[in-house]
Chain A
Amino acid sequence: MHQYIVKRVLMMIPTLFGAAVLVFFLMRAIPGDVCELRLAGTGATFDPDALRLCQLELGLDKPLIGQFFSWIGGFFIGDFGNSMWTNQPIVDEIGLRFQVSLQIALMATFVSIVISIPMGIISAVKRNTWIDYCVRGFSIAGIAMPSFWLGILIILGLLIGSQALYGEPWMPPISYVPIWENPSENLAMLIWPALATGYRYSAVATRMTRSTMLEVLREDYVRTARAKGLVESVIVNRHALKNALLPVVTVIGIEFAFLMGGLVVTEQVFNLNGLGKLFVESVSNHDYTMTQALVMLVALIFVLTNFFVDLLYAWLDPRIRYS
């Protein structure tokens, strides 16, 4: 097992390094740079000297290879650099956003679990009945809706609904307060995107729950249990569910990793100051250092999630370790 872990940890390194190379050159392939953008404000009175100076300050005039290695080198001494747009340390810039993204990812995952597991089970047990079709239709409809469309409809619905009911339009807060400072304000803001996202992402988990349940329900021990005369609900709860859970947990885990940094559109709609919004802004600002740092962060979350999933399977199934 130890050997397996060491092997898997070592395998992360090339992935992370590759991601670093990819993002570094990808960003620089985009025409224009952060300096041109900063000086784009008024359209007129563009000063070529100011542009050169800005590029000089940010080291954009240096050879690419040098820039790359000084950036990578920074990782080893814990220096992630400054954002090229705000010139503030990247660690500070990401810190707060990480917190927002983490909370929304946790909440959305929770919503997704609450929706998908019971629905998946119902749909498996009532397979090929109208209940099954409704459940599947509902869950697929979630993933079929453009997330921004859903978001816009939610906000507008809240505004119109609250005005109709209370006379004053209400909408979720647009700036974030940590949950320990003001829980009600915090939840009033995050509950809506969490519901929308959780519902959208429940489709895959519902599907997974349903198909694993179907498989498990056919297994012999369920037949045995049934033969023994156990009531259907006991069978479902005790025996089938436990075995069906593992792949579902995996799917949910991977989705959680995706939600950290992947909620690009939803964060825009609800003005959530999270990693996804920062991602879009830093790409469109040509903020190389920030985008690079974010990609590395998301890549790290991705490889770690995969690592833990693999570990879980390896622990459960010794064959994997030796293959």
Chain B
Amino acid sequence: MSSGLKTLAASLAVGAALSLGLGGAMAAETPKKGGVLKFVVPDEPPSFDGHRETTFALVHPIAPFYSLLVKQNPENSMDPTDIICDLCTEMPKPTDGGKTFTFKLREGVKFEDGSPVNSSDVKATYDKIIFPQADVSSARKAYFVMVDKVEAPDPQTVVFKLKYPSSAFVPALAVPFNFIYDDAKLAQDMHWYEKNVLGSGPFQKFERQAGAFIKGTANPNFYEKGKPYLDGFEAIFAKKESLRVQAIRGDRAAIEFRGFPPQSRDDLVKALGKDVTVQESDWNCVLLITPNHRKKPFDDVRVRKALTLAVDRWGGSQYLSKIAIVKTVGGIVFPGHPLAAKQEELQQLAGYWPDLAKSRAEAKKLLKEAGIPDGFKFTLNNRAVDQPYKIVGTWLIDQWKQVGLAVDQQVQPTGPFYDTLRKKQDFDVSIDFNCQSVVNPLLDVSKFISEERSGSQYGGYTNAEVDKLFDAMNQTDDTAEQRKMMRRMEKIILDEEALGFITMWWYRIIPHRTYVKGWNVSPSHYLNQQLSEVWLDQ
């Protein structure tokens, strides 16, 4: 990663972060030791194996038990490009024309059972993630398409050999699901970690009560001296959002790491005053509008374009940010990232024009040209989740009403919802979603490449130019070039070909008890959850 990009990213990120609390200033205070951090988690994780699961409900209670090779800097959590060492000693400079990364590991690190952590564990871990055996499930092997092989020449050295230089590699390594496992356990049984927890992270002594909580106790031999500050943590599962908010208020839990709606923040601040601190951030998650290209009339680019032209994103940003966890208007790249479109670039795109009246007139004109009658009915497929799916969906229906489209909403639970997208494929227009941990736009935009290559592009289109740009971006480390290609790709997707659309980016609001210190909000609810820096001011 170029240093120029890094500085740019840092300045942008600081601009994007609105920290109402004292997040940054915390470093000045001396951390106190002791106490148990109680936090609420909406769901229970399916298994404990981070390599196979995809939910944040696994990260929040399980990440504190593990170390990673590299991680997002917890003290500079708003900068999506600040990646530092966890188990390694120094971030390596790539050699061999950007194709070889050599990591040196810390010495003396031990797993909870006393066995040492060395390069063979790291290799076994990444081999499991990148090149899983036939009967092993890895959710993120697609992140590592550029990796040729992983080697462990000596106990303290791990080498990653790439097929081609790629800026997407280091962010992929830092994905918080990439827990370092013990190669001995993996050799015994590749599925061992699904039911067991054994790591080298800041916490240990995994304890679970089915459906109720997961607890961990501080690891006295943790490699960062003096940490963790906490005696332990307790992750309490609570499905209902209102209950989680109330839990903070009634001090049954100190924090929830996913994010609350704006109204809950206001209620908590009003009720608790200085006992609550609010941290906020743009969120690396976004809801998409996906028209079904297989179905008439959405095979017509004019109709698709009218859909995006009808949507008042700039206005919606103001209104919706009062009632839903969305806020920032953006293109296909996370707004806090250097590769994202600037406001003046965005305003060139259909659906982002500053003149709403002109935009809607154009939408009506296009619909007329395409032979769509006034009051044309179609159904919006949506997921049965309130925040922000149903709110954004209901808002979109109102937007489309303004250009004479009568839209129904079909809301489905998660299972049937994905079944519709992946198997039935019979929807008219659907809400879809893209949500990533480490901000890695080069890979994150794989959502928009051709159907047969993406695996998660549900519109059902093929576009050779988008695919070509995607590949070219990923196989260079020239940021200026990447940025140019990204703009071109964005123009094709959102405007010229109107393949699929972005609504507004999510906005993460974490109101927590003020006595929780040392935790900094980040652009993703997957990131910064090891809790080694967190302490309680009590």
Whether A37 touches B250, Cβ cut-off 8 Å, given contacts A47-B455, A268-B239, is no
Q: How far is the CB of A3 from chain B (nearest CB, A)?
A: 43
Contact-residue bracket for chain B: 35 or more
Pick the contact of A40: B52, B54, B211, B455 (CB < 8 A): B54
Whether A96 touches B140, Cβ cut-off 8 Å, given contacts A30-B416, A38-B46, A171-B252, is no
Report how many residues on chain A are interfacial, defined by Cβ distance under 8 Å: 58
Q: Mask for B424-466, Cβ within 8 A of A = 1, else 0?
A: 1000000011111100000110110000000110000000000
Question: Once the chains are docked, how many angstroms separate the CA of A85 from the CA of B53?
Answer: 11
Does more than half of chain B's interface fall in helix, strand or loop, or is it mixed? mixed
Residues of A within 8 A of B242 (CB): 152
Whether A36 touches B419, Cβ cut-off 8 Å, given contacts A44-B436, A45-B140, is yes
Residues of B within 8 A of A268 (CB): 239-240
Residues of B within 8 A of A271 (CB): 238-240, 243
Question: Once the chains are docked, how many angstroms separate the CA of A32 from the CA of B195?
Answer: 24
Q: How far is the CB of B513 from chain A (nearest CB, A)?
A: 12
Residues of A within 8 A of B143 (CB): 45
Whether A38 touches B415, Cβ cut-off 8 Å, given contacts A31-B420, A43-B447, A54-B137, is no
Pick the contact of B418: A36, A87, A152 (CB < 8 A): A36
B121-177 interface with A by 8 A CB criterion:
134-143
B348 close to A (CB within 8 Å): no
A37-53 interface with B by 8 A CB criterion:
37-48, 50, 53
B410 close to A (CB within 8 Å): no
Contact A86 B46 (CB under 8 A): yes
Question: Once the chains are docked, how many angstroms separate the CA of A286 from the CA of B443?
Answer: 30
B183 close to A (CB within 8 Å): no
Q: Mask for A150-176, Cβ within 8 A of B = 1, else 0?
A: 001001101100010000111111111
A-B contact count, CB below 8 Å? 173
Whether A173 touches B252, Cβ cut-off 8 Å, given contacts A43-B432, A271-B243, is yes
Question: Once the chains are docked, how many angstroms separate the CA of A67 from the CA of B250?
Answer: 46
Whether A159 touches B246, Cβ cut-off 8 Å, given contacts A36-B422, A45-B455, is yes
Whether A32 touches B210, Cβ cut-off 8 Å, given contacts A44-B447, A47-B455, A53-B135, is no
Select the residue from A30, A42, A50, A269 with max chain B CB neighbours within 10 A.
A42
B371 close to A (CB within 8 Å): no
Contact B415 A47 (CB under 8 A): no
Residues of A within 8 A of B22 (CB): none
A281 close to B (CB within 8 Å): yes
Can you list 6 residue pairs at the A/B interface with Cβ under 8 Å?
A38-B53, A43-B433, A44-B447, A47-B138, A56-B135, A88-B210
List chain A positions with a Cβ less than 8 A from chain B.
30-34, 36-48, 50, 53-54, 56-57, 85-88, 92-93, 95-97, 152, 155-156, 158-159, 163, 168-176, 268-271, 273, 277-278, 281, 284-286
Given pairs A88-B195, A270-B243, 17 additional interface contacts (CB within 8 A): A31-B415, A31-B419, A38-B52, A38-B54, A40-B414, A41-B55, A41-B435, A44-B444, A85-B46, A87-B194, A96-B210, A97-B211, A159-B249, A171-B250, A174-B238, A175-B234, A281-B239
